[in-house]
Structure 1
């Protein structure tokens, strides 16, 4: 068993080094660094700046979307658990969500046209 392990380790290491030596390509290849535009040189830069505001709003949307998936099973769980405990837990969870939303709003993260 140990011999097979050493053989597989040696073989995989040998293949990795063989691939790195045979697969060396030029890092400064002009064709790979330029964007493809139907075989023509691009008229302008294809690398446009990315809006950080858009990224923040998308991240906030993703967080609230995941939290909604955590809220959806609450009505099903209410039939299986103690009603007061479930109401306390769901109220606490929703209060954290609302506080987070007001914090993002007060910090100006939801203002799109700044």
Structure 2
């Protein structure tokens, strides 16, 4: 019984002493404002939070996401080539690619793809 109580006492006291020593030794004397501020993906955290956002950058990002999802939709077309009717497969594939090209032409015609004016 004495061994059990001693091991319980040591298993609680020893980690407590180690944690107290670690916290006292890890205290920094100089608190650096730059290191204690949160990191915000390259933005200066001391500047105004209401800085203007580039709408053109947002449009390019949305166009990229749309075309990225459409590329993911094109990949299964190659897989189902062997198991489907060739005429239906060709018609569906050409229609899908024509819709993609029509969207790309519309974005290009509207000037959304020109980054610098």
Does TM, normalized by the shorter one, top 0.5? yes
Q: What residue ranges of structure 1 are gaps of 5+ in the alignment? A: 1-35
Please name the residue that 2:73 is paired with.
Answer: 70
Cα separation, 1, equivalents of 2:81 and 2:73: 14
Partner SS for 2:82: helix
Distance in 2 of aligned mates of 1:86 and 1:108: 33
The answer for unaligned runs of 5 or more in structure 2 is 1-32, 38-44
2:61 matches 1:55: no
Count of residue pairs brought into register by the alignment: 77
The 1-side partners of 2:71 and 2:79 are apart by 15
Change in CA separation of 1:91 and 1:46 when aligned onto 2, cut-off 3 Å: same
1:48 positional shift: 2.0
Tell me the equivalent position of 1:90. Answer: 93
CA RMSD between the two structures: 1.9
- Tell me how far apart the structure 2 counterparts of residues 46 and 98 of structure 1 sit (CA, whole Å): 39
Question: Following superposition, which runs of at least 4 residues in structure 1 exceed 4 angstroms of deviation?
Answer: none
